[in-house]
A and B are shown apart, each in its own frame.
Chain A
Amino acid sequence: MESLVVTQAINVAYEVLILAALVLGLAVVMGLLNVLNIAHGEFVMLGSYTAYLVQKAGLPYLAAVPAAAVVCGAIGVVVERFLIRPLRYDPFETLLATWGLGLLLRKLVELGFGRGYRSVDIPISGSINIFGEAYPTYRLVLMVVSAVVLVALFVWYLRAPTGARIRAMVGNPVLAEAVGIRTRQLARNTFVAGTAWAGVAGVMIAPLTPVEPFMGLTLIVNSFFALVVGGMGTVTGLFAGSAIIGGLQSVLTAAVSPTTAYLAMLVLSILFLWQRPRGLFPRP
């Protein structure tokens, strides 16, 4: 019984941390730049396909991380230049444009790879004993990586000069530009960082999920609603949203059924969108 509780607790922690890693890129793009990037899941999907190709080419799995970042970052540059910037980073317009972008990326990948599932081998096999329970090592590694990246990024965001510039731009773009911050480049770099990280997250989850053109849709739903519940543009919001949505999913899936978990998440999101559209911890 006790071991079951331990396993469950680790599972919940795993779900939450993985979701937080997936949400991170979207939190940057949506929370800081107000771009409702519905195609974010497709960037994750592209990252997973990059991982698949890297592994198929016989290269070490770690090589997929820079590869996916470059692929998704490069697409991010193009998308920012020709889609997001012409729409002046408007939330509603970018929602529509990235809706079309998501469709486009799905169809392109479908054309290139077909509709079938691709599987990516787990790069670190084996398991580790935790309180007498065996837990897959790769999952533990992912949890550690995710936690380290999140913490490091937030420390950087709050301490580094670039972080301060981003916060200035988010708070008051006109004033930020007036004091010499090059907001156009900064916004572009922030957007590209978000899409590049989505690619890396795709590499992380690729071995644990069927890789297929439509995988982005489920991912975006969870990530998007995690941000809606948590609140945009704050660190607390990202953690709270991931914890609530990820925790709810994981507990209800184990206790009742995946369908119930999914429905509960949607109902919770509808309630938030309706009564508290800015989430629990919004940017002031």
Chain B
Amino acid sequence: MASFLVRNGLILVVLVLVPVFVGEFWAYQLGLYFLYALAAMGVGLAWGQAGILPLGQGMFVALAAYLAAYGLLGFGSSPLAYLIIPAACIAVALFGFAFAVTIFRGRSEQGPSFSLITLALTLAAFQVATTWSSVTGGFNGLRNISGLPGLDGFLDLYYLIAVVLALAIAAVDYLVRAPIGALWRAVADNERRLAFLGYDVAALKAAAFAVACGLAGLAGALYAPQQNLVTPDLAGFAFSGDLVIFAAAGGRTAVLGPAIGAIVVGALSAELRDRFPWWEIVIALFFIVVVLRLPAGLMTLFARLKRLSIARSPAPRPSRAPDKPRIAAPLSVAFDEVRVRMGDVTILDGLSVRTGDEAVLCVIGPNGAGKTSALNVMTGALPKRGGRIVIDGVDVPRPRPAAVARSGVGRKFQTPSVFQKLTIDENLAIALWAGRWRGLDLLRPSLFGWTTPLLDEMRRRFGFLRSGAKPASDLSHGERQILELTMALVTEPRLLLLDEPCAGLSHEETAAVIDAIQWARHELNLRIIIIEHDMELVRRLADRVVVLHQGRFLADGSVEEVQGNPDVRAVYVGGSR
């Protein structure tokens, strides 16, 4: 916390002292680039943290600028005019959130589709703004907008903008270090894993976008009194493109990157554009180099100042995480004539199977039997074409990953699915927060210190989990398997789905994992469904075995019963039934 205050206090002092060194004219110019910096920081936050690239932020700047212009006309010299700035910022942020959550809701695919929607939206906004001249002033825009009351000259407004920018930098700095920042980076890294932990991914993404829009709104609201002019050009394609270039050139992953990009590129462009016709070609080339080779942009030069980017803050004091409200009884699942088809291929062909009294149910069957697909359809990763799935006594017509996870189902995928770019600690913390955070918890850095007895025990059993600052991408395949298993366990599910949990593990690791699974099952009184080919593991863990074949139920019983079953033998060894 102390370092946070020092760092951002320093930034504030530097910004306020600038006019002493550069003179009043440059202070006026810089004020404008500071506004660009605000909007570019929003682009950086959405793109560099959450992985959503907004291509139309100019529209939100323009919206706030017009709101502020009319507000300033209305309030005149009343001090109430200052309310315009937060009001425009909040209005634009709320609009951004509503828009983004509508788009993101119900779809999990990442990709350029959202970016293209924002692009189309800003193209439309520009067209509307130029046509609707009675409101927007058409091509010439609204002129002679009065300044903010009580501020005389460029310098006064410069100080206001400098303070707003410093506060915005501090706010973004705080957010990216807070739990919500870790969740945004998790969204960019592995959206599916996050949904299967029970997080509302659409809301998280929309929140990042809303912050970006809020920053664009601040920029727009201050633009009106700074320039005394608002034109539809703000909503144009070119300005939105410039903001992306600022963020990329400065370095989208760092807090200060986009701001530095906007100030450096903006100021250099203004100086050099007219004198040096090649200038914009240099910018275009630099942008291409950034995309190809230099994701950190100009911030690469400041690698030593890495603490200004998203440094891993020192680990907070460990504290006991709040208990998860949890029903102690295991969760039951029943499939009734479930059908799944993909194109022409029938994957599940009327599968009927249900959990019983057993604690550990092993599902076996040849490749293509539909084992993983059964888990997928139950957790909402595959659409079903018929039949009923009853989870915990409730018929779920359209399962959704996050909703199924929240009802108490934990899942470990066949190929380990963790947040590769995050540290081990962050991976575990995100799993631990799921279902435990309340209200504004995601803004409290102390959440990084949360732990539970179960997590402590897993850290004791698997030593590598204790070197928490290591990125998950540095782990071996086996370690990633164990990390994901631990993440699934710390959510304290009532039903744990394990898809080949020991694939690729060494003999010792397998033994340790089996031991941990046995322990956790008694500790949490949970039900486990395991898909496994390794009959040794099945023999050690299974209370009951279910055999699937060609998308249908084939047989069930104890390991011996199943092994003795002639149908099962026929499927595995061939021969007549």
- Which residues on A are within 8 Å of B, measured CB to CB? 36, 83, 86-87, 91-93, 95-97, 99-101, 103-104, 107-108, 111, 217, 221, 224-225, 228, 259, 262-263, 266-267, 269-270, 273-274, 277, 284
Contact = CB atoms under 8 A, between A and B. Distances in A.
B305 interface: no
A100 B113 contact: no
Nearest to B116: A273
B518 interface: no
Contacts of A270: 117, 120-121, 124
Given A83-B292, A262-B127, A270-B120, A104 B281 contact: yes
A93 B111 CA distance: 10
A91 B112 CA distance: 8
Given A104-B284, A104-B285, A263-B128, A273 B291 contact: no
B127 A266 contact: yes
Contacts of B53: 92, 96
Interface in B268-288: 277-278, 280-281, 283-285, 287-288
Contacts of B245: 100, 103
B115 interface: yes
Nearest to A102: B284
Nearest to A101: B288
A92 B291 CA distance: 11
Given A36-B112, A270-B117, A270-B121, A284 B343 contact: yes
Q: Is the interface of A mostly helix, strand, loop or mixed?
A: helix
A97 B288 contact: yes
Contacts of B103: 274
B291 A97 contact: yes
A91 B114 CA distance: 13
A259 B127 contact: yes
B127 A277 contact: no
A259 B128 CA distance: 8
A161 B150 CA distance: 76
Contacts of B50: none
A274 B291 CA distance: 26
Contacts of A284: 343
Contacts of A277: 109, 111, 113
A80 to B, nearest CB: 13
B285 to A, nearest CB: 6
A91 B131 CA distance: 34
B241 interface: yes
Given A103-B280, A104-B285, A284-B343, A87 B120 contact: no
Interface in B236-260: 237, 241, 244-245, 248
B123 A96 contact: no
B288 A108 contact: no
Contacts of B116: 224, 228, 269, 273
Nearest to A36: B112
Given A83-B292, A273-B117, A284-B343, A266 B281 contact: no
